[in-house]
Every structure is written in C-alpha cells, then in structure tokens.
C-alpha cells in the first residue's frame, strides 16, 4: 500500500472501495447506497400519490398499495435517511475533530456492508413477489396474519441492517471520545460532531429493543414461538411498546444530525458564531434524553389508561422546549450576521419555517384527547413528513451541496441547485400541507383508495400534484450530480465556501488519505475560523512530522455480511415457518450462512492486523508536489 | 416568504371553516366528545399560530436586514456567543404556553377516559346507559347489544343526546373504531377489550340525515380502506322502537316466488352457515364468522361502503373479491343472473320494521 | 505517535502496568467494548421486560408455571460455578498485568472449564423442563419468553467460551504482547458482564419465580 494513489483502472477502483476502511471512502459508499435507496423510496412515494390522485383509482391494487407504502416508509427511514446521514458523519466528523480515521475502521466498513446487504435483502422481496405489507411499524397481529414471506424479508433485512447501524453508532461515540485532536475539548466540538455523538448514543440504546422485537416476531413466524399468539398467552401490545421504544428515539436519531448539519451551515453563511452554543449542546442532550420517555404517545389510542396517556402527553410537550431553544438560536445566529444565500443556506432557510410547522403539529398530537382524532389519519402523515422531509431531507440536500466539494473535490452546479430547491420546496408544501386537512376531514392513513363525494377529492389531487414537483426537483439534482461528476469545476482550495469555520475546511478537498499530515492543535471553538482571524493560513500542528499509522483495507466485512445475508434466506425457509413452504434445506443454508459469518470473524480475529505506515519522507514529497497535504 | 406564510394562514382558516363533509369531518363536531376535542384543536392551533408568527416575524426581519451585499461583502460581523437573557425568555415562554395547553389536556384525558358510567344501574338493576360490544373482523363490523340480546352488523344504531358506551375487541387483527364527526378513535385490540364512550348530538344528526360515517383507522390488510360502517343516530324513542322491533324480530316467509327461490339458494349454498338472519345470535362472537343479515333490508350500504341498491347487492354477491380484496367470504361466485336476482330479492325482505 | 512494535518481544521490565490500554488501539477497544456492553444491557433489559410481561402466561392450567418448574439447588450450583469463573478470570488478568503468561493461560483455561460446566448444567436444565414438564419454546408465551431470555444468556456464554478459547490457542506459542493483551482484557470484561446478567436472571427469573 502506498499513500500516493496510483492509477488503478476501473476494477482497481472497485476493489479499493470493496475493501476500503477509509472513512472518506466509506462515506462515498454510504452516499451512493443511501442515494440509491432514496431514489427507490421516492419512486414508491410517487406511485402512492398517483394511486391517490383521484377517488377509487385502480392504478395500484389494494395489496400492492399496502406493499408500496410499507416499503416506502421502511426504505426511507432505514435505508435512505440513516445511511445518508452516516455518509456525512463519516465524511465530516473525523475531520471536524482532527482525527485520521474513526476508532474502528474495520467495524466502519462492516457497518456499511451490513446495511447494504440488509437493504438488498429487504428489496429482494419485490423479485420474490412477497413484499412486506404491514406498514413500517409492522404491528404484530397484522404481521402475523400476513401471507407469504413479505414480513420475513422485512424482519431479516432490518435485522441485518440494524446490526450495521448499531456498530456505526458505537464507532462514532468511541471516535468522538478517544480520537479528538489535542485542545479539542468537548465544549469546543462542532455542533455536527455533538449531534452525531448524541444520535449515536440514541442508536446504542434504541436499536437493541428493535433487535429484540424483531427476534420475537421472527421466532413467532419462523420457529413457532408464541410471543404474539394471544390464544397461547402471548400479547401483541408488547410489539407496539418495543417498536416505539425504538421508533421514537429513531426519529431523533434522524433529526439530531440534521440539526447538526444546519448548525454548521447557518453560521458559515451568516459568517457568525453559532448563537448560544452551550445551550444548543444542552438542548441536544435534553432532546435525546426525553426521546426515550415519550414512546407511548404513538399509542394514545391503544387503551393504556388515563394516567399513562396524561403522563406521556405532558412528557411529549416538554420536548418542545429544547427544540424551541434550537430554533431561536438559529434565528439569532443569523441576526446581526452577513447572510449569503447559497444553495445550502437556502435549504436552511426553507427548513426553519417548515420544521416549525412540523414541530407545532407534533405538539398538537401530544394533546392526547385531540390525538384520538388525529392518530392514524393523514394529519399525522403530514406531521411526520414536515419533520422528516422538512427537517431531515432538507438537511441532507443542504449537506449534499455543502459538503460535495469536501467529499468529491468538485462544486455542484449552483443554478441547478436553486432549481432543485424551488421545485422540491414548493412541491413539498403542496404535497403535505393539505394533508393536515385531509386528516381532519376524516381520511385515515394507509388507505389504498378513498370514495368520491366525501370531500376528499380535491385535497388528494393537490397533494399528488405536489409529489410530481418534488420528483422534478429530485431529477434535477440527479442531473446536477451526473453533470458535476463528468465536467464539474474542480475545487483547488481548502475552503471553497470562503467562510468555513471548522477544521474540515482547513485541509484539501478532498483530503488526503491520512487527513492531517500533522494532527492539529485546537485553540478555540470554531478552530479554523479562529486561525483565519489570527491571519494563519493553516492549523497549528500538535506533533512533529512523523510516520503515520494507517489501517489496512479488508474484504472480510463483505464476507461477514454475505454470511448473514445467506443465513437470512435459510432462516426464512426453515421447516417450522408460518408460511408452510419450509424445507430441511433451509436449515442447511442457515447453518452454512452462519458458518461463513463466524468463519470470517474468526479469520479476522486470528490474523494479526497491524496496519501500515506512511513514511515521513512520502509526506514531505506530498508537500513538495503541493497536492495532497495541508 | 412572508406573503406566502400569510396566505397559508388565510388559506387554512378558510379550510377550517369551509370544507369537509359534516357526516365525516372532525371539524364539524357532532357531540360532546368531538366538541371537547375540537376545542382542544382550536386552543392548540391558536397557541401554535402564535409560535409560528413569532418565528416568522424574526425570520423576516433577519432576511431583510442582514443580507450580504456588495457594500458589506468584506465585513466580519461581531461573533456573539449568546445571550442568557434571551435564552431564559425562549425557555420560559414556551413552558408557560405548554402549561396552558397541558392543563386542559390532562383534564380532558381523564374526563373522556372515565367509563364508570357504563356500570350505573337503575332501581330495577338494569343498566342505564346503552352499551354496545363492537367486534371488528377483516373487513366488517359487528355490533352486539348485550342488554337487549341483539346482534347486528355494519350499521350501528345509537340513541342521540346520551352517552353510548362501547366495548371493543377484534377477532383477527388489530383494527381501530372511528366515527370522526362524533369523536376520536379507539383501537380494537385482539388482546383485551377497550372501553370508551361517544355522544351523538340530535341536531347535528338531523343535519346529516341521521347518518354519520365510521371508519377503520388501523391498517388491517388489503381492504382496510373499505372497512367502513355507518352510524344511524336516532332520537331515543325511535331508537327504542328499533330495539323492540329487533327483539321481536320474526323470520317472515318471503312472499314472492323470486324471493322464495332466493331463500332456497341462500340455504342450499350454505350462506346460512356463516350469516345469521335473526338478531338473536347467541353463539360466542368467535363463532360468528360473517355479518348478521337481520334487518338487511334497512341497511344504509352494501358491504359497508357501496350504495344500497339491488344492483350492488348482486355485484357484491357475485364478486366480493373485486370490491373488498382479501375478504373472508370468497373471491367470486358463479351465480346466474337469475340466481343473483333471487338472492338479492330475498335479502331485501329481511327487515325488522318498515 | 511513534512506532510501537505491538507484536515485538516484551520483558517484565518494559511491560506497562496497564498493558490493555497502553496503546491507542487498546484504549479505543476499551471504550468500544464498554459501549457495546451498554447496548447489551439495554438488550437484556428488553428481554427481562418481555419475560416479566409474559411470565406465567400460558393457554391453560395444564401448563407448568414458574413455581412448578424451577428448582433452586440446581440454579444455585449454576450461579456458584459462573461466579467462580468470573473470579478466575480476574486472576488471569492479574497475571497478564504481571507479564506472567503461563498464569494467564492457566486461569483463563480454568475459566473456560467452569463456563463449560455452567453451560452443561443449563442444557440439562432445559432438557429437564422439556422432557419432564413439556415446557418448551413453543408450548406457551411463557415458555417462549423464558427460553429466549435464558437462552440468549446461554448463547452469550457459549460465544464467550469460543472467544477465550480462540485467544488461548492463537497465542499459546507466542506469549504476551501489546497486540494481544487488550484482547485478553476485553474477553474478561465481556465475561464479567455475562456474570452480572446471570445474577439478574437468578434474581428476576428464579428467585422471583419461587414466590
């Protein structure tokens, strides 16, 4: 291995990505993987809206429609939003804290491949014609009732992807705890690093309940256990509790990093320090903490009793306080600043009012008796799209433009970026604003059709029209990415936006494989801004120029993930499965898959992996060529 | 952006007032429960609009005043760290607003969750309130009046201007019982019986011809969207008349030849094995596999959602899978047109009262 | 960071006091493992909650309940064996820190033997319930919850045994160094965690099952 990347040809590049443990390349993988599933989920959304364009439409059959929205939700949450956020966490967090890589590069790669194979597993259901159809929440009574292997694809696919997410969560916390550059105290950490830290903590504590709940349902469906079989003493409400104990923190896992991204973008383009940094950190923690206390607000109508409903209603309202703090802090970051309306900033400006609407409708649903009306209607569909699209997707689109030069070394076309924003923003509000009212007018969610003459026709038509606008915006973005990759303007400077504040903007775009030639010394919050204001052209080093230790690449993560993937197919066809099409071969495949997984893990454990060194001389060469170093 | 926001507020007030059908919309509350919930909607909306406008005002000022332009291009703004005063302000005010919202929330939660009234008995030891056991099945509703010994389905008959209590239980998968105009929903679980009450206002009922729309609000399979039912809200005396008619329900021999033939078909094809045709079905609910057809002739809809006419009855009998995919009757039958005619004719004779 | 020859030859003199965290990798691993155990704690907490929700939930009275099933003497022996194995792994780590490779290997080997004994007793216990009481994974929700909770713990024990055994064999010929010292330490930490979980199983499942 060599620090200087030689020309490798197409297959060489592919091999490099398959075996990479470099956080920057893994970021690319997450971006491509997440982007692919985002497009897939978007197409599913479009088909949903086409079906609901007019009353009693027959564009999609009832069963297909249920499959479509189940896959749309599952894909968007687990396979698009989460990995896309991981892409930016991987690309940016190590740079922001002045590290050369994450704490566990191997695990990082493993996390990606598990996500990828899990996503593929889930989507293979389309080719088997047995697609998950019980909603992304997959409530136990309906998912036990579902015919075919659809639910099994959901369970096993999410289990595999979930393991990957859990690993990445652990990895980011460990990285942020142990790998910060000298001088980077916790209270000097950039906001995106902070939110990554807290979101990873949420992953760590929220995903195990999901793992267990998936196992419960998997065992019931595949191995004949009785967890949800009421006649055998089982209880389906357990699924709802466990799912939402995971599910509610999950939405904060998505939104907190989105907050973090905007907390980078807004100060940058306001040319002003983040207002109330320490209260932002505090608010992040508080949101994360309260996120675990409110799961039952998804279950107000389940019949948990008055005391539970009242308690969870009040606890849920409490979350509005730290969220409000954040909104006002962003506003006052801009107050008195020097606002430059770039594409990322445009998304940030679009985000604030959109997310406030999503937030306040959330509070309305916290009013338990009112939620009896709103629950499971289009009102809630509108609400969570306002938070997840207006919050998370806007953040992802903003970050795509913002960090593109840092990740890929080119600038996305600004004009096309504006057009994407216009179509997406207008389409978004058109699609979802009216849905609040559809819900209030009595339209339940997850209905494959609605009858004419009940006052729901026009609203649905407007909503569907908006979806096309969003699709146009997304297509323009894809065109933009393709054009930029082919002939985009190359970035030659470290800080292409000119107003970068954190250390990621102090090194070349894209950074060299070792990130920092010398680990920097952090002297203040917004380390790079501080140095710029001092008139410095680069970060002060905290160590002399010396050999750099780097992790080796490895193909083993793919084999571990593949093993689990194969085992998943085996598990689905064990003789005791609920569908009744199992065979002893299922057990054989299950065992072979697990053997491949554990075997690969064993190989990994038994072989010493000591990494390699980039020699000091090579680093000096890099400097002379003026290319790849600081 | 400001104009856009304002027009949204304008548009929303328009929507709140104008649209939505009174038999379906939560914005036309038709009873005490829906009224309480509607008032909470208004209160929370008012508070939330206040919050949104505050944000929008600051936001607009920021956008107008602090844009970067040619003159100030190279200026570096003051790097403010924060302001404790402001932080306290925007922590305290939301807490106050939320408290204003939380108090009625808690009160209403306990008020609406109090079903002790269903156990109240009069001097004769008879229950005072009307209690209805709702049994949800894929994709139809059964309504059992335990105190009257009546079982019916798809059309829920209730008295107006008094609390009607419901016991909810599902036979197969989870459903959710929702009459938007009369009040919020309650889940119909497979595990345990849920209990709640609704009130149907007589004036509002009159406005909509005594019929409110009910829906299943929890995904329960392919035909979830069509798992509708109708609520027939009658003044107390009419309700009592209905009850006694149902209690004294007599199976009449059909009069016309066509209907007689229909009855033969109904029995010969073992429709009768699942569909009871009298309201006094005493089997346990698990054994009641299909909608009770007593008083079918007075139904408001076919299969809960189709317009009630002979054509639709015939279509439904021949081809239920096309209307409600995944239904548990059968996908399609092979009756001749004559047979369908007879069956429909017969079913239309099943009436408790004219 | 200057070069540290992780797999080089060490002596008692240049052996660090805390070899498991003498390197950046070691420190990372320690933090990572603690985090992992944090996640595992939530995992087991979920299992306990599920168990408590479904405890004694059986379709009819022909099915055995906790009081009918559990026999404290056997469980007590299992507890004693597993807790002892935790102690022996402490000895092993003590020797590792003193650069006594033989002691490390020996005490870890004893740990493995004790763990194996525990596992055999557990398998016997399950076998007993299944054959004598018809209490299986499929016989009731209670059965499913019981075997899932205790079985997951058993699977963790088995995994720990495999882990430590692999370490013992892999390093048998090359002695201690700064590359494998953290690995030994992490394995022992994991082993302690399994013990702690068992203490909870002992209290929540067995003791609370007697009343």
pLDDT for B42-55, tens place per residue? 999 999 999 999 99
The residue behind tokens 């040319």 is A271
Q: Which stretches of chain B are DSSP H helices?
A: 2-18, 32-65, 84-112, 202-207, 236-247, 257-268, 310-318, 320-323, 337-348
Residue of A107, A233, A602 with shortest CB distance to C141: A233
What does residue A113 show for φ and ψ, rounded to 5 degrees?
-70, -30
Closest residue in B to A236 (Cα) is: B191
DSSP state of B229: E
Q: What is the sign, positive or negative, of the torsion defined by CA atoms of A122, A126, A129, A130?
A: positive
Determine whether the interchain pair A455/B26 forms a contact, defined as Cβ–Cβ distance below 8 Å. no
CA dihedral A166, A167, A169, A173 (to 10 degrees): 140
Instruction: Assign C165 to helix, strand or coil.
Output: helix
Closest residue in B to A430 (Cα) is: B8
The pLDDT value given to residue C211 = 78
The nearest CA of chain B is from the CA of A343 a distance in Å of 15
Question: In the numeric block, which tokens belong to residue B37?
Answer: 């919930």
Q: Is the complex ipTM higher than 0.90?
A: yes
Determine whether the interchain pair A332/B83 forms a contact, defined as Cβ–Cβ distance below 8 Å. yes
C-beta neighbour count of C27 within 10 angstroms: 19
B–C contact: 3+ Cβ pairs < 8 A: no
The pLDDT value given to residue A267 = 96
The pLDDT value given to residue A381 = 97
Residue pair A504/A94 in contact (Cβ under 8 Å)? The answer is no
Strands (E), chain C: none
Determine whether the interchain pair A141/B174 forms a contact, defined as Cβ–Cβ distance below 8 Å. yes
pLDDT digits (tens, 9 = 90+) for C42-92: 999 999 999 999 999 999 999 999 999 998 999 999 999 999 999 999 999
Determine whether the interchain pair A356/B51 forms a contact, defined as Cβ–Cβ distance below 8 Å. yes
The pLDDT value given to residue A628 = 42
The pLDDT value given to residue A622 = 67
| Candidate from A19-33, B4-18, B211-225, C109-123 with smallest mean pLDDT | B4-18
- Of residues A610 and A152, more confidently modeled: A152
pLDDT digits (tens, 9 = 90+) for A552-600: 999 999 999 999 999 999 999 999 999 989 899 999 999 999 999 999 9
Confidence tier at A2 by pLDDT (50, 70, 90): very low
Determine whether the interchain pair B222/A375 forms a contact, defined as Cβ–Cβ distance below 8 Å. no
- Cis amide leading into C98 (omega within 30): no
Cα-based angle A228, A231, A236 (whole degrees, multiple of 5) = 25
Residue of A142, A327, A441 with shortest CB distance to B219: A142
pLDDT digits (tens, 9 = 90+) for A406-428: 999 999 999 999 999 999 999 99
Distance CA A468, CA A423 (A): 9
The pLDDT value given to residue B4 = 61
Average pLDDT score over residue span A376-387: 96
Per the rule left: phi > 0, alpha: psi between -120 and 50, beta: everything else, A409 is left
What does residue A519 show for φ and ψ, rounded to 5 degrees?
-60, 130
Distance CA C155, CA C153 (A): 5
Instruction: Assign B105 to helix, strand or coil.
Output: helix
pLDDT digits (tens, 9 = 90+) for B179-218: 999 999 999 999 999 999 999 999 999 999 999 999 999 9
Determine whether the interchain pair A313/B220 forms a contact, defined as Cβ–Cβ distance below 8 Å. no
pLDDT digits (tens, 9 = 90+) for A490-537: 898 999 999 999 999 999 999 999 999 999 999 999 999 999 999 999
Return the residue in C45, C138, C153, C177 with the most chain A beta carbons within 10 A, the one to mutate for interface testing.
C138
| Candidate from A70-84, A380-394, A527-541, A611-625 with smallest mean pLDDT | A611-625
The residue behind tokens 């699709």 is A471
The pLDDT value given to residue A526 = 94
Residues of B in contact with A141 (CB under 8 A): 170, 172-174, 190
Residues of chain B with pLDDT under 50: 1, 17
The nearest CA of chain C is from the CA of A167 a distance in Å of 9
The pLDDT value given to residue A325 = 94
pLDDT digits (tens, 9 = 90+) for A278-315: 999 999 999 999 999 999 999 999 999 999 999 999 99
What does residue A496 show for φ and ψ, rounded to 5 degrees?
-65, -25
Q: CA neighbours within 13 Å on the CB side: how many for B85? A: 0
Residue pair A515/A91 in contact (Cβ under 8 Å)? The answer is no
What does residue B187 show for φ and ψ, rounded to 5 degrees?
-70, 145
Average pLDDT score over residue span A266-285: 95
Determine whether the interchain pair A547/C3 forms a contact, defined as Cβ–Cβ distance below 8 Å. yes
Q: What is the rounded average pLDDT for all residues in chain A? A: 94
Confidence tier at C10 by pLDDT (50, 70, 90): confident
Determine whether the interchain pair A230/B305 forms a contact, defined as Cβ–Cβ distance below 8 Å. no
Res. A1: pLDDT tops 60: no
Determine whether the interchain pair A442/B110 forms a contact, defined as Cβ–Cβ distance below 8 Å. no
The subunits that touch chain A, with at least 3 C-beta pairs less than 8 Å apart, are B, C
Residue of A211, A220, A231 with shortest CB distance to C43: A211
**If you count DSSP H runs as helices and E runs as strands, how many of each does chain A have, helices first?**
22, 2
What does residue C61 show for φ and ψ, rounded to 5 degrees?
-75, -5
Determine whether the interchain pair B20/A455 forms a contact, defined as Cβ–Cβ distance below 8 Å. yes
Confidence tier at A182 by pLDDT (50, 70, 90): very high
The pLDDT value given to residue A374 = 96
Res. A329: pLDDT tops 50: yes
Confidence tier at A477 by pLDDT (50, 70, 90): very high
Closest residue in C to A243 (Cα) is: C46
Which residues are CB-contacts of A7 (< 8 A; sequence separation ≥ 6)?
none
């Amino acid at each position: 291995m060599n620090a200087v990347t030689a020309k490798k040809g197409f297959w060489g590049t592919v091999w490099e990505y398959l075996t990479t443990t470099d956080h920057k390349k893994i970021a690319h993988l997450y971006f491509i993987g997440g982007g692919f599933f985002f497009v897939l989920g978007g197409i599913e959304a479009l088909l949903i809206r086409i079906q609901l364009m007019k009353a009693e439409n027959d564009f999609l059959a009832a069963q297909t429609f249920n499959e479509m929205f189940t896959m749309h939700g599952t894909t968007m949450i687990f396979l698009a939003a989460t990995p896309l956020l991981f892409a930016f966490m991987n690309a940016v967090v190590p740079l922001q804290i002045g590290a050369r890589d994450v704490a566990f590069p191997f695990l990082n790669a493993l996390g990606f491949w598990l996500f990828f194979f899990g996503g593929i597993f889930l989507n293979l259901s389309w080719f088997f014609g047995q697609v998950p159809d019980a909603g992304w929440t997959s409530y136990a009574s309906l998912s036990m009732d579902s015919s075919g292997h659809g639910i099994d694809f959901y369970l096993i696919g999410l289990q595999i992807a979930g393991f990957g997410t859990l690993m990445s969560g652990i990895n980011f916390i460990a990285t942020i705890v142990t790998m910060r550059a000298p001088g980077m105290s916790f209270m000097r950490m950039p906001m995106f690093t902070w939110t990554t830290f807290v979101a990873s903590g949420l992953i760590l504590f929220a995903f195990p309940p999901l793992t267990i709940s998936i196992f419960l349902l998997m065992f019931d469906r595949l191995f004949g256990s009785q967890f949800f079989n009421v006649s055998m003493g089982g209880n389906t409400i357990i699924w709802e509790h466990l799912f939402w104990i995971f599910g509610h923190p999950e939405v904060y896992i998505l939104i907190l990093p989105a907050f973090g991204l905007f907390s980078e973008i807004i100060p940058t383009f306001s040319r002003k320090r983040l207002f109330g940094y320490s209260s932002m950190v505090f608010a992040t923690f508080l949101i994360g903490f309260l996120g675990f206390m409110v799961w039952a607000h998804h279950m107000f109508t389940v019949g948990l009793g008055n005391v539970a409903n009242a308690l969870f209603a009040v606890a849920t309202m409490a979350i509005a306080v730290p969220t409000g703090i954040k909104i006002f802090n962003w506003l006052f970051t801009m107050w008195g600043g020097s606002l430059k309306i770039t594409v990322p900033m445009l998304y940030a400006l679009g985000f604030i009012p959109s997310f406030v609407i999503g937030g306040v409708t959330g509070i309305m649903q916290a009013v338990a008796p009112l939620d009896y009306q709103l629950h499971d209607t289009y009102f809630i569909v509108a609400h969570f799209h306002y938070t997840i699209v207006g919050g998370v997707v806007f953040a992802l689109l903003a970050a795509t433009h913002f960090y593109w030069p840092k990740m890929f070394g080119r600038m996305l076309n600004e004009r096309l970026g504006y057009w994407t924003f216009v179509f997406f923003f207008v389409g978004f509000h058109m699609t979802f604003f009216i849905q609040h009212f559809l819900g209030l007018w009595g339209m339940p969610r997850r209905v494959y059709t609605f009858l004419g003459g009940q006052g729901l026709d026009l609203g649905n038509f407007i909503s569907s029209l908006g979806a096309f606008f969003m699709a146009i915006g997304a297509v323009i973005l894809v065109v933009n990415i393709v054009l930029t990759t082919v002939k985009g303007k190359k970035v030659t400077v470290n800080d292409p936006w000119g107003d970068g504040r954190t250390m990621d903007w102090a090194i070349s775009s894209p950074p060299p494989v070792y990130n920092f030639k010398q680990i920097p010394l952090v002297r203040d919050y917004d380390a790079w801004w501080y140095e710029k204001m001092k008139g410095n052209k680069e970060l002060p080093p905290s160590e002399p120029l010396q050999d750099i230790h780097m992790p080796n690449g490895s193909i083993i993560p793919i084999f571990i993930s593949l093993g689990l993937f194969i085992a998943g197919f085996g598990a689905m066809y064990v003789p005791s499965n609920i569908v009744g099409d199992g065979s002893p071969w299922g057990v054989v495949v299950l065992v072979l898959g697990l053997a491949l997984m554990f075997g690969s893990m064993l190989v990994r454990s038994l072989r010493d992996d000591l990494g390699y060194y980039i020699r000091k001389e090579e680093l000096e060469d890099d400097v002379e060529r003026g290319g790849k170093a600081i | 952006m400001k104009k856009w926001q304002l027009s949204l507020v304008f548009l929303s007030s328009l929507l709140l007032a104008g649209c939505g059908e009174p038999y379906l919309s939560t914005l036309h509350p038709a009873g005490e429960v829906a009224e309480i919930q509607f008032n909470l909607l208004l209160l929370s909306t008012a508070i939330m609009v206040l919050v949104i406008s505050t944000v929008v005002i600051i936001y607009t000022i920021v956008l107008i005043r602090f844009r970067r332009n040619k003159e100030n291009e190279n200026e570096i703004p003051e790097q403010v760290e924060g302001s404790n005063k402001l932080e306290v302000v925007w922590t305290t005010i939301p807490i106050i607003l939320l408290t204003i919202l939380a108090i009625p929330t808690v009160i209403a939660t306990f008020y609406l969750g109090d079903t002790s009234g269903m156990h109240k008995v009069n001097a004769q030891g008879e229950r005072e309130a009307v209690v209805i056991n709702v049994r949800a099945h894929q994709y139809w509703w059964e309504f059992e009046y335990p105190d009257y010994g009546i079982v019916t389905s798809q059309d829920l008959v209730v008295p107006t201007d008094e609390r009607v209590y419901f016991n909810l239980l599902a036979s197969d998968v989870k459903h959710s019982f929702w009459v938007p105009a009369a009040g919020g929903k309650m889940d119909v679980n497979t595990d345990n019986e849920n209990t709640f009450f609704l009130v149907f206002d007589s004036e509002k009922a009159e406005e909509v011809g005594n019929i409110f729309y009910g829906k299943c609000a929890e995904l329960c399979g392919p035909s979830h969207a069509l798992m509708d039912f109708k609520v027939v809200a009658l003044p107390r005396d009419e309700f009592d008349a209905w009850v006694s008619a149902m209690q004294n329900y007599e199976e009449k021999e059909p009069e016309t030849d066509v209907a007689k033939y229909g009855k033969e078909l109904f029995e010969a094809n073992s429709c009768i094995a699942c569909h009871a045709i009298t309201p006094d079905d005493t089997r346990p609910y698990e054994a009641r596999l299909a909608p009770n057809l007593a008083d079918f002739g007075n139904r408001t809809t076919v299969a809960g959602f189709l317009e009630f006419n002979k054509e639709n009855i015939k279509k439904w009998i021949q081809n239920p899978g096309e209307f409600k995919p995944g239904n548990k009757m059968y996908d399609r039958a092979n009756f001749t047109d004559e047979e369908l005619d007879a069956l429909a004719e017969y079913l239309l004779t099943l009436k408790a009262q004219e | 960071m200057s070069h540290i020859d992780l797999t080089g030859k060490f002596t008692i003199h240049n052996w660090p006091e805390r070899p498991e965290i003498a390197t950046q990798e070691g420190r990372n691993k320690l933090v990572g493992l603690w985090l992992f155990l944090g996640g595992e704690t939530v995992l087991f907490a979920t299992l306990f909650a599920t168990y408590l929700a479904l405890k004694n939930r059986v379709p009819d009275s022909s099915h055995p309940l906790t009081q009918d099933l559990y026999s404290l003497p056997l469980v007590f022996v299992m507890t004693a064996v597993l807790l002892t194995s935790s102690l022996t792994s402490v000895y092993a780590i003590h020797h590792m820190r003193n650069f006594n490779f033989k002691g490390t290997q020996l005490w870890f080997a004893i740990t493995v033997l004790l763990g194996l004994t525990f596992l055999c007793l557990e398998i016997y216990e399950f076998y007993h319930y299944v054959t004598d009481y018809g209490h299986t994974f499929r016989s009731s929700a209670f059965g499913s919850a019981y075997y899932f909770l205790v079985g997951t713990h058993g699977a963790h024990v088995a995994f720990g045994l495999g882990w430590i055994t692999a370490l013992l064999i892999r390093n048998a010929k090359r002695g201690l160094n700064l590359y494998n010292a953290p690995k030994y330490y992490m394995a022992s930490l994991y082993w302690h965690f399994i013990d702690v979980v068992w203490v909870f199983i002992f209290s929540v499942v067995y003791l609370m099952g007697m009343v």
